Structure 1
Amino acid sequence: MTSTTTAPRDPQAVAATPAADVVHVAVGVLTFKRPEGIAKLLDSLGVLTMSAERPYKLSVVVVDNDPKGSGRAAVEPFMASSAFQLIYAIEPEPGIPFGRNRAMDEAPADTRFFCFVDDDEWVVPGWLDALLEVRARTGADCVYGPVEPVYPENPPEYFIKSRVFERKKNEDGARIGYAASNNVMFDLPLFRQMGLRFEERMRHTGGTDYLFFNQAVRKGAKIHWSDAALVYDVVPANRMTWKWVIQRQYRLGNTFAVADQLHGTPARRAYRLVYGAARVALGAAMSPALLISPSLGMRAIIHGVRGAGVVSGILGHSYQEYGKAQA
């Protein structure tokens, strides 16, 4: 990354910059009964740094997917923030894709770049500038960044050694073929021109962000990696169990298959079925590693359970992980 001097974001300095040089960036956050999480995220967005080379105006769109508006009290203290314009909206239709689509719809009309982060995350001060720097350097249509897990006190040792909560990283600036909504920025006018929306028929399955960005790649969008655009993600203690890990890995595999059922070709679905069966077989073959290596043992579980999720999805089962939470 190019070395530049950054400073706390100064709205007066932004106002003094020629309008043509200032881009409007909107950050979208979908929240559901996580008042502490959304407050921590908004705190971190309020202290972002900005390079003089990449001035921006910032808006934050918070979409509450609780019809009762349980997140309003946590959001209201930030409505007078001088660091960003805050837009709060309630999306009464349950389901993640409805909330994400609403967030994009609520973005100010002059928004150039749109970001998504989750309500159980917070960003480092240089997060947005790092996304903008990679975009300027590579000409990316979309920039994706790392998510670092933050574990509870005294976490189960096996789950730390297995690295199951850690995500893949890439070389800074590298072009990649995927993204998710947990730390991403994209060219909003371009994505609207492509007709991209989150798939509302997958309201409770999860994985609509995988499909959204996969469709963008198919339409020619260029996605690049920003290694400095770091986001921290809380891993609650109740997720550090075998039950949760197995359910999540099954859902991830199932999600890919459900997406192919809705938008894939017959050939793609046939490939997915063979792929799923192969991962089940690989997981079974690797299973003895559970006794000697946490990392290899967890890989065996991931292969087997994700493969089972893929096969079941192609055969017609849609696992509704988020329906349980919103019920």
Structure 2
Amino acid sequence: MNQQNTFPRAPASTDRQVPAPLNIAVGVLTYRRLDGIAKLLDVMTRQTQHPARPYHLTMVIVDNDAAGSARATVEGFGQTGAYNLIYVVEPNQGIPFARNRAMDSAPADTDLFCFLDDDEWPVDGWLDAMLETRGKNRADCVYGPVQPVYPDNPPEYFIKAKVFERKKNKDGQRISYAASNNVMFDYPLIRSWNLRFEEKMRFTGGTDYLFFNQAIRRGMQVFWADKALVHDIVPASRMTWKWVLQRQYRLGNTFAVSDVLHGNLKRRLYRAAYGASRVILGLAMLPAIVISPYWGMRALTHVLRGAGMVNGILGHAYQEYKPNAAL
């Protein structure tokens, strides 16, 4: 049985000199990562507010473990007074199920919805930086940087190759993509479009890519908030050649799977041709791997993402998040 607990936030004082506060919900999915969710909830008690950008905050924690293993950890933050806290169990395993449950569990009067991961934590001014960028640009959606935090003695090659570093943009720049690891969007707008995370891609990953791509095609305007920094833990288990190469293949594959499910024939043909061209380009660049970690990894990225795209169009959906997934 699905379970939901709500813990009230301490009432805010009234002040006629400030704008009406926005209602913000932050959705976080978790699965047996108790230290991560505890750290995130603790950090979120310290979010700062600018007088010109007040808000009421609700944390929506979706436990994707049917046993509710995170309940005790989450409930320990229920009386901090820093935010409302909603804890809900989503027994159907799979990221899109949990993401949809997070949005469905937000309070009805939510103005803005955010997603963070349970292995991340934001800077203390994260939410205010998001709101500042939103206000300056009249943004429907705001996306921010994610900075990797490495374990002790990480493999030097991967650091030099910048494998785990994500693309950055100028502050306030309009961009054509977003993901669920550091994002804020107009909740009523998304609900009016009836947009959902694609549950057919239960274990493939990439449902956030598809979700925001669909929103942008409908007219959603996304802007970059450079000060809304989030830190992301990179576990040692991911700093292996096997994981890195499979991840690059999966990223390309999910683009293609998205086109198979929601694209037309023209889009699928384009994706296949684009994937094939990336394979060719990557093979031509591959000798760089012996002299430059960065350009060598770029070559491997082209080859593997391109191969993932071609195979995805041909019908192969790589299940990265399914137990014992393999190419």
Q: Distance in 2 between matches of 1:32 and 1:307?
A: 31
* 1:130-189 CA distance string (max 9 Å, x none): 000000100000000000000000101000000010000000011000000000000000
Cα shift readout 1:66-108 (whole Å, capped 9, x = no counterpart): 0011111221110112000110000001110000000000001
Structure 2 letter corresponding to 1:266? L
1:155 paired residue number: 154
Q: Does 2:89 align with 1:90?
A: yes
- The answer to whether the 8 Å contact 2:19/2:54 transfers is no
**Deviation for aligned residue 1:316:** 0.1
Shift of 1:303: 0.5
Amino-acid identity (%): 64
User: CA offsets, 1:20-50, max 9 Å, x none?
Assistant: 6110000000101100000111111110000
1:281 aligns with 2:261: no
1:194 Cα deviation after fit: 1.4
Measured in 2, the distance between the counterparts of 1:40 and 1:65 equals 18
In the TM superposition, residue 325 of structure 1 has moved relative to its aligned partner by 7.0
Residue 266 in 1 paired to residue 299 in 2? no
Coordinate RMSD, CA, aligned: 1.4
The aligned residue for residue 34 of structure 2 is 35
TM-superposed CA distance for 1:11, in Å, is 6.2
Q: What SS does the corresponding residue of 2:197 show, helix, strand or coil?
A: coil
* Number of aligned positions between the proteins: 316
Cross-structure match for 2:4: none
Partners of 2:19 and 2:52 within 8 A in 1? no
Q: Distance in 2 between matches of 1:271 and 1:60?
A: 40
SS state at 2:203 partner? coil
Aligned to 1:177: 176
Return 5+ residue gaps in structure 2 as ranges: 1-8
Structure 1 equivalent of residue 318 of structure 2: 319
Match of 1:138? 137
Aligned to 1:62: 61
Distance in 2 (CA, whole Å) between partners of 1:171 and 1:51 is 22
1:16 aligned partner: 14
Give the 3-state SS of the residue equivalent to 1:58 in structure 2.
Answer: strand
d(CA) in 2 for partners of 1:234, 1:240: 12
| 8 Å CA contact retained: 2:28, 2:117 | yes
2:255 is aligned to: 256
CA contact (8 A) 2:140 2:185 kept: yes
SS at match of 1:324: coil
How big is the shift at 1:17? 3.4
* Structure 1 position 15, deviation (Å): 2.9
Secondary structure class of the residue paired with 1:268:
helix
Matches of 1:17 and 1:214 in 2, distance apart? 40
Runs of 4+ in 1 over 3 A off after TM superposition: 17-20
SS, match of residue 279 in structure 1: helix
Aligned-partner Cα distance in 2 for 1:39–1:21? 30
Residue 144 of structure 1 aligns with an amino acid whose one-letter code is Y
Corresponding residue for residue 307 of structure 2: 308
**Counterpart of 2:165 in 1: which secondary structure?**
coil
Structure 1: runs of 5+ lacking an equivalent:
1-9
Give me the whole-angstrom Cα distance separating, in 2, the residues matched to 1:234 and 1:17.
39
Mapped contact 2:144–2:225 kept (Cα < 8 A): yes
**In 2: Cα distance, 1:284 partner to 1:262 partner:** 29
More helix by share: 1
